[in-house]
Structure 1
Amino acid sequence: MIKTTTLDNGITLVYEPLEFVKSVSIGIWIRNGSIDETPENNGISHFIEHMMFKGSAKRNAKEIADEMARIGGHINAFTAKEYTCYYAHTLDEHLETAIDVLSDMLTHPEFKEEEINKEKGVILEEIAMSEDAPEDIVHDQLENEVFKPSRLSMDILGTRENIRGFTREKLFEYLNCHYVAKNMVIAIAGAFNEKKVIKILNEAFKDTSTQATLTRNLDFSREATFIFKEKDIEQIHMVINFPSISYKDDAIFVLSVLNTIIGGGINSKLFMGIREDKGLTYSIYSYDESYEATGMFNIYAAFNPTQTDEVIVNTLKEIHTFLEEGIDEDDLDKIKEQIKCNLIIGYENMNNRMSNYGKAMLMQQHIKTQEEIVEAIDAVTIGAIMTMARDIFLDPSISLSIVGHLKDIDQERIKTLCKKLQYM
């Protein structure tokens, strides 16, 4: 049973004790990401995430790693556009140690200047690595342009200039404004004694700041955009982008079904039509990116530059055919079973379970149970799917991002092909 409570200092705790497992996952979720930054400090959320592992009042970086290794546990973190998460997965008998390590990192970071300077080099290398990955570039450059000038457009990694300029003072100034109790959710799933764990958490996080949270700026605008980046690689990497919905929209489960139909698996329209039937590309799929205020529906493909026009034309034809013909009840039932199967299998992993609870409570202040989600998926109708498909695919602000050799690509023709979807 999923339960929620509030720690003494105002941190929200969501937890699910389970008797059928021997492991436990815990995540510290902070409502802070690149959307909360400014152009002047863009990248600081991700930088702070790195620095949390570089030493605290009780442990240096090696001691943090060694202590988790000693208990056979796994500890890590990640930064997204709207949140940051620090998490650990271990055996139930070692949960108290994992809590001690995580809380020590987050409530008593040292941010030593020598460690800051070393980490600047690490993150500059991470930026360079991302610039060598066309799969990352093609998506990142799309978001950077589609969401300009809103804060959603900013890279999570930040800019080289900003990274080089971060100081201990700047890190603590930002940390003290964002890493506050009302901005945090602790999520736990697995084997543990709830009364004991709540007592431990109250003590472990007693030094977390209780000052007021900052208001997030959710203003955004979007325009149709076409971005072409020359890169010396063998394939073209492409993303076709359509406006979509927020994860707070009641139709989010309709979107999940639509995505699975279009490009979410080996029986999807795009995989069968573009790869299996025509052999135009090895990799093609769709995915949705939902944020608090908006969303994106994207189609990704990688292919030989000589097949650019053919891939785009046939991709848009597959969408147009779907808009005309729809889907029958038998195929819809198969899609629903596929989604429910993936969901239920995912919930057998404690880390997935914890992540679902933590993110939902942090961003939506509400958690749907596994049963409620299955019910919502079962309730999706053909009519709702087709209404959403028309809203998404016939929106005039269709955008496109391409990375690869451009010399044989007619950019104006590609723009025209994309814009024709509304009139096919």
Structure 2
Amino acid sequence: MIKLNFDVKKHILKNGLEVITIKKNTQISSINIGIKVGALNETLEEKGISHFIEHMIFKGTENRTFQRLNDELESLGGEYNAYTDYSQTVYSISCLEEEFINGIELLSDMLINSKLPEEEVDKERGVILAEIRSSKDSVEDFSFKRINEVAFEHSALKYDVAGLDENVKNFTRDQLYSYYKKYYVPNNSLITMVSSREHDDAIKEIEKYFGKWQPKEVKSLDVKDEKNKDIKVVTTKENIELSTIIYLFTFYDLDKKSELPLRILNHRLGESANSLLFREVRENRGLAYDIYSHLDITKNVKTLYVYTAVDEEDINDASKAIEEIFKDIKSKKIVIGNNDLNIMKKVHKTAVISTLEDSFELCSYILSQSLEGEDIFEFLEDMESLNSITADEIYEVANKVLNNPTIHILKSS
């Protein structure tokens, strides 16, 4: 049994802001704030706007110029960052306990009082366009974007979070500011904070700086799940040394209790350095240097990818080897024994303990679980479930998920 080294309390401020305080014996404090807005909220004409605003939040407020804001963030002496995905935008600060209140105040100013200055919009436009173009130069990034484009017709997953070039080129400051004011409201946000402070003291600081944030009605997000197309597409690109192969599976009809067996399957399939795919495609056949699987299980995104890069002459052999692994798992030809389950349990336990020990990781995990509406202590339930899970459950989930993939192959033109 894992021993918890922290205590958690949930609070709702009068303006609707949900706050989770995590009391932990630590000298490093962390605060994360998640805004429930991302690429899923965007219309076609808005693709990229959530990500653009994430960049602009660091560009100055009603109280601080761009330079002053970033100087003060830097002076915290810790780490500050942000990211946008399909369903949320997250801002985080980790710093010494003595700088914790300064971190809270800075985040509140950024989130509540951002100015989105016109001159910075034009500067950041160039930065984001360069970010989009640099991802096109990466064969791996390009391949993942391309398979999403061909796998979906209507899903937001069809488009990269960074957006469409044409949109980014044409967003106006007024468009950005209107979108920011629409979604950046307390009743559409959630804060998690890890510190050694008592819960009452911690929440007083949040109330002091975030209590003035004015709520506004926000429409709940209505996402229609779309299965990937059962299709194989070949794309060509100039001046690439290796060809890439990606398989994409979606599993929106999978029930909650099957998610843990799927995580074990993914680890055995391609997540570990001794995975089935790695051993067969790289070690046994020498076809690829890099091969892995990637699993995403959130409320609105249920995807499993398998990726590798090979010489063009080895595409067919590598594809055949990968598909044989899928087939042999589903038919139980590949044995998943007690040793595999024990290893997965150790992997899971190591990941959990690492998260509990690190203030930033703990803060991020609890934020993610809470934004998804999941139990923040789910990892404890998973530990118990691992004791009773069977190989048959893993084979069953393999037969549910590993069907009708979208396949994308990238070759040199």
Q: State the TM bucket, normalised to the shorter chain.
A: over 0.9
- State the shift of 1:161 in Å: 1.3
- Give the alignment's Cα RMSD to 1 decimal: 1.8
Shift of 1:62: 1.9
CA deviation profile, 1:166-188 (whole Å, cap 9, x unmatched): 11211121112211222111011
Q: Does 1:350 align with 2:359?
A: yes
Q: CA deviation at 1:216?
A: 1.1
Q: Secondary structure at the match of 2:256?
A: coil
1:362 lines up with 2:377 in the alignment: no
> What are the Cα deviations for residues 295-320 of structure 1, in whole angstroms up to 9, with x where unaligned?
11111111111111111101111222
Instruction: Give the Cα separation in 2 of the matches to 1:284 and 1:343.
Output: 25
Does residue 23 of structure 2 align to residue 14 of structure 1? no
Task: Give the secondary structure class of the aligned counterpart of 1:111.
Answer: coil
Question: Counterparts of 2:374 and 2:397 in 1: how far apart (Å)?
Answer: 25
* Correspondence 1:73 to 2:82: no
Identity of aligned residues (%): 28
AA of the residue aligned to 2:395: M
Shift, 1:245, TM fit: 4.3
- Letter of the structure 2 residue corresponding to residue 98 of structure 1: G
User: Which runs of no fewer than 5 residues in structure 2 stay unpaired?
Assistant: 1-6
Aligned partners of 1:245, 1:24: CA distance in 2, in Å?
37
Of 239, 249, 253, the match for 2:256: 249
Matched, 1:224 2:230: yes
Give, in angstroms, the shift of residue 215 of structure 1: 2.2
Q: Does 1:179 align with 2:188?
A: no
Residue 247 of structure 1: CA displacement? Answer: 9.3
CA–CA separation in structure 2 for the residues paired with 1:287 and 1:124: 26
- Structure-1 residue corresponding to 2:315: 308
- CA deviation string 1:351-402 (max 9, x = no partner): 1111110011111153225433322333432121111001111x2x311122
Q: Which residue of structure 1 aligns with residue 396 of structure 2?
A: 387
Over residues 325-344 of structure 1, what are the superposed CA-to-partner deviations in whole Å (9 max), with x where a residue is unaligned? 24122222222222322332
1:66-125: CA deviations, max 9, x gaps?
112222121110000111100000011111011111110110001111111111111111
Which moves more between the two structures, 217-226 or 6-15?
217-226
Q: Map of 1:6-405 to 2, 5 A cutoff?
A: 6-19=12-25, 21-222=26-227, 223-231=229-237, 232-245=239-252, 249-324=256-331, 325=333, 326-393=335-402, 395=403, 397-405=404-412
Take 1:111 and 1:200, find their aligned partners in 2: how far apart are those partners? 26
Aligned equivalents of 1:403, 1:315: Cα separation in 2? 16
CA, structure 1 residues 339+245, in 2 after alignment: closer, same or farther (shift >3 Å)?
farther
Partners of 2:385 and 2:337 lie apart in 1 by: 19
Q: Distance in 1 between matches of 2:247 and 2:31?
A: 37
Q: What is the Cα deviation at residue 206 of structure 1?
A: 2.5
Mapped to 2, the partners of 1:8 and 1:126 lie a distance apart of: 39
The amino acid across from 1:41 in the alignment is: E
The amino acid of 1:147's aligned partner reads F
The 1:276/1:147 distance shift into structure 2, 3 A limit, reads: same
Query: What are the Cα deviations for residues 37-77 of structure 1, in whole angstroms up to 9, with x where unaligned?
Result: 00011100000000000001122222222112222121110
Decide whether the 8 Å contact of 2:246 with 2:409 is kept in 1. Answer: yes
What is the rounded CA distance, in whole Å, between the counterparts of 2:390 and 2:89 in structure 1? 35
Q: Residues of 1 paired with 2:222 and 2:111: CA distance?
A: 25
* TM-score computed with the length of structure 2 as normaliser: 0.93
Are 2:341 and 2:386, in contact at CA under 8 Å, matched by a contact in 1?
no
Q: Is the 8 A contact 2:245 2:315 kept in 1?
A: no
Give the drift of 1:153: 2.1
| Contact kept in structure 2, 1:239 and 1:400, CA below 8 Å | yes
Q: Does 2:11 correspond to 1:5?
A: yes
Superposition deviation, residue 235 in structure 1: 0.7
Classify the secondary structure of the residue corresponding to 2:372: helix
TM normalised by structure 1 equals 0.90
Is the 2:356–2:362 Cα contact (8 Å) retained in structure 1?
A: yes
8 Å CA contact retained: 2:225, 2:252: no
CA shift digits 1:146-199 (9 cap, x unpaired) = 232123322211111111221121112111221122211101124333222211
Question: Which has the higher mean CA deviation after the structures are superposed, 369-378 or 167-176?
Answer: 369-378
Q: 1:378, 1:132 → 2: CA distance?
A: 45
Unaligned runs of 5+ in 1: 407-424
SS at match of 1:257: helix
SS at match of 1:123: helix
Shift of 1:294: 4.7
TM-superposition CA deviations, 1:1-33 (whole Å, max 9, x none): 2221112311111121111x2101110001110
